[in-house]
Amino acid sequence: MNIKAVPVTEKWTEYTLTNEAGMAVSILDFGGIITKILVPDRDENLENVVLGYRNIRDYQQNPNYFGALIGRVAGRIQGASFELSGNTHVLESNEGANHLHSGSAGFHQALWQVAPFQTENSLGLTLSHKSPDGEGGYPGNVTVSVTYTLTNDNRLLIDYEASSDKTTPLALTNHSYFNLSGDLKSTVETQAAAIDSSQFVELDDQLIPTGNLIPVAETPFDFRAGRMLGEGFNEKFAQNKLAGGGYDHYFLFDNTREQKALLQDSASGRQMAVETDQPGMVMYTGNGLDDSLLLNEGKSRKYLGVCFETQGSPASLHHANMPDIVLQAGEVYKTQTVFAFSVMK
């Protein structure tokens, strides 16, 4: 096991965690961005399973949020505003009239303080950041830490902890795009996903949640028994069409399984299980990607990766039936998501 720190620009450092099995995770202090994850296939070939830029400086803009920590609030906020404790808070309109992934002042643009650590069976980084009252339009001085831990059994744990001196919305997530084919050999069309969810949140034509919960039964959104992602890469079903011929939807977990989601690639034999204490997740299948970006293994393209954005729902700021994201002043926000990699049996 080892931790390697390499300066990659005048201001940024990339840290690479390598466990005893050879799995490696590379993380930037800028944006807390996961740039690479190397995991073995069934023949023990180590290959990258996330989307990342070939030129490290391209993360400065990063319009697709590759690998980034998202906060204060991940997702879209309708009308770029919300009411809290009788006050209206106006945010940056950075996607039409709406607010996406906390705008230009989001955590994906922060330079985080990094503290490496190592134990007998794991190693990792604790990233720390302070967001001042009013930053991005959000109330409260927020202190946040995110800990990435890589274990020797190929589990990547992400622990989020935060507090605020004012009541404020908070919904943190990681925005990695996964592709288990290895080194982007194919799109995720033929990769199978299973999700512990019997309902998802309807979107309008601006991809804003309407507040309506739709049963997944007899739709391309029924992943309870597992299905190919490509079955929803079409414009035959209205909700897939709205999202650009794929998925960009919040799934509410049923909490009937420890694994809330599972991604499998039969060609490589890789699989990734998602465990979390969050109430749901947005699954996004890279519907907006085109061939304009140069990634580590070649040009980007539509459906090249899938995001599992475990989080509460920002729609709760406008719809009472969504999982709440309001953190009370003085309380501690604490949550964990685990990405567990293994080989299919």
CA atoms within a 13 Å half-sphere pointing along the CA-CB vector of 259: 17
Q: Which of 17, 2, 21, 16 is nearest to 343 (CA)?
A: 21
Q: Is the pLDDT of residue 235 over 90?
A: no
Q: Are 166 and 140 in contact (CB under 8 A)?
A: yes
Element (H, E) at 240: helix 238-242
Structural domain boundaries enclosing 26 = 2-343
pLDDT of residue 345: 85
Q: Which residues have CB under 8 Å from 63's CB, separation 6+?
A: none
Q: What is the CATH number of the domain that holds 78?
A: 2.70.98.10
Q: Respond yes or no: is residue 309 known to be catalytic.
A: yes
Q: Are 128 and 144 in contact (CB under 8 A)?
A: yes
Which of the residues 89, 101, 175, 249 is marked catalytic?
Answer: 175
Structurally, how many domains does the chain consist of?
Answer: 1
* Predicted pLDDT at 53: 98
pLDDT tens track for 141-162: 999 999 999 999 999 999 999 9
> Which DSSP category does 242 fall into?
H
pLDDT at 266: 98
Residue 44 backbone dihedrals phi, psi, to 5 degrees: 70, 20
Give the largest CA-CA distance in the chain.
59
Instruction: Give the whole-angstrom CA distance, residue 94 versus residue 196.
Output: 32
User: Is a pLDDT exceeding 90 seen at residue 139?
Assistant: yes
- Residue 209: exposed, middle, or buried by beta-carbon count in 10 A (0-12, 13-18, 19+)? buried
What are φ and ψ of residue 229, in 5° steps?
Answer: -60, -35
Selected catalytic residue, list 309, 318, 319, 331: 309
* Contact call for residues 292 and 281 (beta carbons, < 8 A): no
**pLDDT averaged over every residue in the chain:** 97
**Residues 105-134 pLDDT 10s:** 999 999 999 999 999 999 999 999 999 999
